Chains A and B, each alone.
Chain A
Amino acid sequence: MEETARPAMTEGRAQATVYRRVTADVLATLERPGLGWFALMALVLTGLAFGALSWIYQIKNGLGVAGYVPPVFWAVYITDFVFWVGIAHSGTLISAILFLFRAQFRTAVYRISETMTVFAVMTAGLFPLIHLGRVWYFYYLIPYPNERLLWPNFRSPLVWDFFAISTYFTISSLFLYIGLIPDIAAARDRAIEGTWRHRLYSMLSLGWQGTDRQWRHYNRAYLFLAGLATPLVLSVHSVVSWDFAMAIVPGWHSTIFAPYFVAGAIFSGVAMVITLLVPLRKVFHLEDYIESYHLDRLARLLLLTSLIVFYAYAVEGFIAWYSGSEFERAVFWDRATGQYAWAAWIMYSCNCFIPMALWSSRVRTSWFWMFIISIFVNIGMWFERFVIIIQSLAHEFEPYMWDYYRPTWVEWGITVGSFSWFFMWFLIFIKVMPSMAIAELKELLPPKLKRQKEKLEGRA
């Protein structure tokens, strides 16, 4: 017994060392924020204040302070909404779908993407309210027994949206939270008793101790939530796409929209993950955890979805031509050559042409170029929604009503505010919660740590 125990002890000590390092490295991100963080926070809060004031101004005066020009009855707010819902998608894709597929590279990046998901849904969820003409009656959309004996209209894609978004928010928050519990417990155990952090972690960890019983139910629940979240991810953006596809507006009324939007959502979501990951890795010195191997995998996902989106654009154009519908044709011709051609070509360039650079493995593993490309994709995907929504509406059935829409400062203010809102939560999160999954990183050590462990064992 003594003999067999010895190598195990050596191996064990190496493992414990690496485990301690994982805990320490991840929890190091929670250290007192530096000047940069405060500067960013100040910036973000300023943006948020601007957004909030813009919204208050809008509520006070009416939606007319935005740039709406009939027939463009939906504009930047819905663009922002779809953009943020799209961003929200890759998080659950990475955390749930890749979990089910046991894709190992997910471990290091899934917490960040999941966080992004939740905050992006929180941001997206604001826009249906912001864009309402009478936001103070938003509760008319909620099915609750009321004195008027009235119910919402379940035929409306907006009610589907209401259900889809609130379900998605609930489930993805649950998923994030459940994943966080063991890590919060780890943070709790490292926190100094009596501090607010300790109190917070004690509360949020729910008294987690990592017992066999807890882990057993936990693992099951995690699996089922992943199982539930997977069709949900695909459905949510399908439902969002039906906001458009169920309408008869040429340029919206298209069967391809659901898969096309899902692909687009993952495309934009992955891009946003990269956008967030690159600076985070740098700032928190997480090079040992997030390697170019991770980047390469994300880049491949990006390339794949870019190709799907590219294909969808092509098919849309083809069907418009092939259908023979003069209205469809007119919209797509106008899209490429009309008054919104500038936006359409930004979209084509950023979503179809620039990502073609990802065929090169050197680009795929370059942190700098991936960051740049991800920014372009973010811009491109925002413009995709802008073009789909605004250009299609501006060039609808009635030539009498054709018009040109320009956003106003209120819309820009609220858009800036939405980014600020998102980043505010993100900045708070990375300083309060472990932004990588501690337990899972220990379970599946990233390559560098595995090498370190092996080295330690060898020396012993």
Chain B
Amino acid sequence: MSAEVLDTGVRGAFLTVEDTARAVNALEEEGFTPEDITVFSPIPTPHLEERLTRRTSPVRWFTLIGGLLGTCTGLALTLWTFHAWPLQVGGKSTSSLPVAVVIMFELTVLLGGLFTLAAVLIFSRLPTLGRNPGYHPRFSDDLFGVYVHTADDDARSRARRVLDGVGALEVEHATA
């Protein structure tokens, strides 16, 4: 998102998830909304993530839709091709359902998986071309980060204060 790319704000680095969580709490108490706050983490941090968004990830709907689409495609493809040019093989019925099951299953998994991938990319805004100004390479290594994005100078200094207050290793101004 262009807002993310061109934004500016304050970043704090933390040693642990607990510190990070405290920072998020403190920021919210200070009046920052989850939309303003981005947390960076080298590991998945489920409770923090939920805390920041409350909503369950919509990826599951994509998986479901993709899967169902695959099931239908599988059924349609097999039955339609049986019908398109009926050829008798092995004395079997020219439109046999059991064999459709295999194709339906495979396409369910295939399209389900591809839709899941699409969903994760879309919702995670990936691939992304710009860098979040709050990001620091150590956030993929050992540190956690909290970035408050705000263009307002006052809000920035408030955020800086809050981050300092919860024991950030380092707090700095970050701009794209």
Direct contact of A and B (CB under 8 A): yes
B45 in the interface (beta carbon within 8 A)? yes
What is the distance, in angstroms, from A216's C-beta to the closest C-beta of chain B? Answer: 4
Please state if B81 and A163 are interface contacts (CB–CB under 8 Å).
no
Cβ-closest chain A residue relative to B139 = A210
Which residues of B in the span 56-114 have a Cβ within 8 Å of any Cβ on A? 56-57, 59-60, 63, 67, 77-78, 81-82, 84-85, 87, 89-90, 92, 96, 99-100, 102-103, 105-107, 109-110, 112-114
A292 in the interface (beta carbon within 8 A)? no
Chain A interface size band reads: 35 or more
Q: Which of A19, A20, A149, A207 contacts B126 (CB 8 A)?
A: A207
Cβ-closest chain A residue relative to B87 = A153
Please state if A20 and B141 are interface contacts (CB–CB under 8 Å).
yes
Interface string of B3-19 (1 = CB under 8 A from A): 00000000000111011
Please state if A232 and B124 are interface contacts (CB–CB under 8 Å).
no
What is the distance, in angstroms, from A200's C-beta to the closest C-beta of chain B? Answer: 14
Please state if B63 and A228 are interface contacts (CB–CB under 8 Å).
yes
Please state if B81 and A217 are interface contacts (CB–CB under 8 Å).
no
Q: Which of A13, A159, A164, A209 contacts B132 (CB 8 A)?
A: A209
The distance in angstroms between the C-alpha atoms of A214 and B82, with both chains bound, is 44
A186-B141, A220-B59, A443-B44 known; A212+B49 contact, CB < 8 A: yes
Q: Which residues of B contact A221 (CB under 8 A)?
A: 57, 59, 63, 116-117, 119-120
Which residues of A in the span 1-33 have a Cβ within 8 Å of any Cβ on B? 1, 5, 8-9, 11-13, 15-17, 19-20, 23
A304 in the interface (beta carbon within 8 A)? no
A5-B167, A151-B84, A211-B40 known; A217+B137 contact, CB < 8 A: no
What is the distance, in angstroms, from A175's C-beta to the closest C-beta of chain B? Answer: 8
The distance in angstroms between the C-alpha atoms of A175 and B40, with both chains bound, is 23
A219 in the interface (beta carbon within 8 A)? yes
Q: Which residues of B contact A217 (CB under 8 A)?
A: 57, 59, 119-120, 123-124
B151 in the interface (beta carbon within 8 A)? no
Q: Which residues of A contact B126 (CB under 8 A)?
A: 181, 206-208, 214
Most A CB atoms within 10 A — which of B43, B63, B140, B143?
B140
Please state if A163 and B103 are interface contacts (CB–CB under 8 Å).
yes
A154-B81, A439-B44, A442-B42 known; A170+B110 contact, CB < 8 A: yes
The distance in angstroms between the C-alpha atoms of A8 and B105, with both chains bound, is 50
A185 in the interface (beta carbon within 8 A)? yes
Please state if A171 and B109 are interface contacts (CB–CB under 8 Å).
yes
A12-B15, A189-B141, A224-B59 known; A213+B113 contact, CB < 8 A: no
The distance in angstroms between the C-alpha atoms of A3 and B38, with both chains bound, is 27
Q: Which residues of A contact B99 (CB under 8 A)?
A: 154-155, 160
B52 in the interface (beta carbon within 8 A)? yes
Q: Which of A8, A159, A171, A438 contacts B18 (CB 8 A)?
A: A8
Which residues of A in the span 167-202 have a Cβ within 8 Å of any Cβ on B? 167, 170-171, 174-175, 178, 181-182, 185-186, 188-190
Please state if B48 and A19 are interface contacts (CB–CB under 8 Å).
no
Q: Which residues of A contact B49 (CB under 8 A)?
A: 212-213, 215-216, 219
Number of inter-chain CB pairs below 8 Å: 214
Please state if A224 and B89 are interface contacts (CB–CB under 8 Å).
no
A231 in the interface (beta carbon within 8 A)? yes
A447 in the interface (beta carbon within 8 A)? no
A149-B85, A225-B116 known; A218+B15 contact, CB < 8 A: no
B148 in the interface (beta carbon within 8 A)? no
A70 in the interface (beta carbon within 8 A)? no
Please state if B102 and A163 are interface contacts (CB–CB under 8 Å).
yes
Please state if B44 and A219 are interface contacts (CB–CB under 8 Å).
yes
Cβ-closest chain A residue relative to B77 = A143
Cβ-closest chain A residue relative to B40 = A210
Q: Which of B40, B67, B81, B96 contacts A143 (CB 8 A)?
A: B81
A150 in the interface (beta carbon within 8 A)? yes
A163-B107, A167-B106, A225-B113 known; A218+B44 contact, CB < 8 A: yes
Please state if B137 and A8 are interface contacts (CB–CB under 8 Å).
no
Q: Which residues of B contact A215 (CB under 8 A)?
A: 41, 44-45, 49
The distance in angstroms between the C-alpha atoms of A152 and B80, with both chains bound, is 12
A151-B84, A207-B129 known; A219+B117 contact, CB < 8 A: no
B53 in the interface (beta carbon within 8 A)? yes
Cβ-closest chain B residue relative to A6 = B167
B142 in the interface (beta carbon within 8 A)? yes
Q: Which residues of B contact A85 (CB under 8 A)?
A: none
Please state if B102 and A214 are interface contacts (CB–CB under 8 Å).
no
Cβ-closest chain A residue relative to B78 = A154
Q: Which of A151, A186, A219, A225 contacts B140 (CB 8 A)?
A: A186
Please state if A153 and B89 are interface contacts (CB–CB under 8 Å).
yes
Please state if B124 and A185 are interface contacts (CB–CB under 8 Å).
no
B176 in the interface (beta carbon within 8 A)? no
Most A CB atoms within 10 A — which of B43, B84, B113, B135?
B113
Q: Which residues of B contact A190 (CB under 8 A)?
A: 137, 141
Most A CB atoms within 10 A — which of B84, B87, B114, B117?
B117
Q: List 13 A-B contacts (CB under 8 A).
A: A8-B18, A143-B81, A154-B103, A155-B96, A174-B116, A178-B117, A190-B137, A212-B39, A217-B57, A220-B59, A221-B59, A228-B116, A231-B105
Chain A residues in the interface with B (C-beta under 8 A): 1, 5, 8-9, 11-13, 15-17, 19-20, 23, 143, 149-155, 159-160, 163-164, 166-167, 170-171, 174-175, 178, 181-182, 185-186, 188-190, 206-221, 224-225, 228-229, 231-232, 235, 239, 438-440, 442-443
